[in-house]
Amino acid sequence: FRPEAAQAAFQFQIEVIANGDNQQTPNNITQLAAGKDLEGNLDAETILGIDYPTPLIAYNTGGNPPFKSDINTPTNTNEPYLTWVRYVLAQRNLPQVISTSYGDDEQTVPEAYARRVCNEFAQLGARGISLLFASGDSGVGEEGTCFANDGRNTSTFLPSFPAGCPFVTTVGGTKNFDPEVVAFDPRNGYVSGGGFSNYFRRPSYQDEAVKPYVASLGDQFKGLYHKRGRGYPDIAAQGQLFQTVWNGTVRRLDGTSASTPAAAAILSLVNDSLLAAGKKPLGFLNPWLYKRGYQAFTDVLSGSATGCGTSGFPAVKGWDAVTGFGTPVSLWMSEF
């Protein structure tokens, strides 16, 4: 815990977009049972606990995006990404790092909508913003749900969106130290997510790192994923057993919903160091990351993105589709 940062939890800025939920009263019994705002508390507390006194802005966004149901998501609980990104792009001043812990099964997001949103995200990168998304918490797919929603129920891994957008930096989860391994928790089924997009082809900045990984898999998982798709995650961070204060109690939470704000907070500290030295902030990370930035990350070599009745994509030396290039080595990133 970080007592000196506690007051910031009552003072950070909240921007409400399209009538997004901004309840500032205690949860009722139904909301408590549903764990309402656990995720939001985890995000804010993780960021403030690491990079305080850096200012924090929370965006609460409403809306119902286009949607195509699948077994895992029978009703529209998808996120209104386009509403959010249009709003932030219209702002003159923006945070230099933005963290988003939410994601949807890619196949539940109509492809035209996904491409439009992804292209809008590219504009944030062009403005020098580091945009981070979580890789998901179900490995390559939750057991019993790994079927395409194309009317044929074809067996398939379930990539996530926006994790598979090539204009965002996607964060996986790890646990333990010496060695650090892929995050998994058999108590709740959490496994750090990873995979390859079916909508977006692999960007050229990934070729040197990702092609050898795909080749190493051979015919394993043949037909279950898009070999030429954009691979994710790009990096990882600790994502298990985060202490989170909620409703007057301390809860332990798992997820890339923890690793993503943790990584974002570390990147914010790197930006602080760069700016103090008269340099530019990191901006869109991926081209730098895949060219030389990966040297500032600790490779994770053990574990896999299990799911869909398989062992899933394994962690290996170098880039892999479960921890990316690994976890950040603190402020040393500014040296690369």
What are the catalytic residues?
Answer: 39, 43, 257
CB 89 within 8 A of CB 44: no
Q: Please tell me the distance from the alpha carbon of residue 203 to that of residue 312, in angstroms, as a whole number.
A: 22
Q: Please tell me the distance from the alpha carbon of residue 207 to that of residue 230, in angstroms, as a whole number.
A: 10
DSSP calls for 66-124? -----SS--S-----HHHHHHHHHT-SS--SEEEE---EEGGGS-HHHHHHHHHHHHHH
Q: Please tell me the distance from the alpha carbon of residue 39 to that of residue 23, in angstroms, as a whole number.
A: 14
Provide CB contacts within 8 A for 64, sequence distance 6+: 76, 80
Helix, strand, coil shares of the chain, percent, nearest 5, are 30, 25, 45
Helix (H, G, I), strand (E, B) or coil at 41: helix
Helix (H, G, I), strand (E, B) or coil at 252: strand
Which two structure tokens, joined as six digits, stand for 285? Answer: 């990370």
User: Which of 235, 116, 112, 114 is closest to 174 using CA atoms?
Assistant: 235
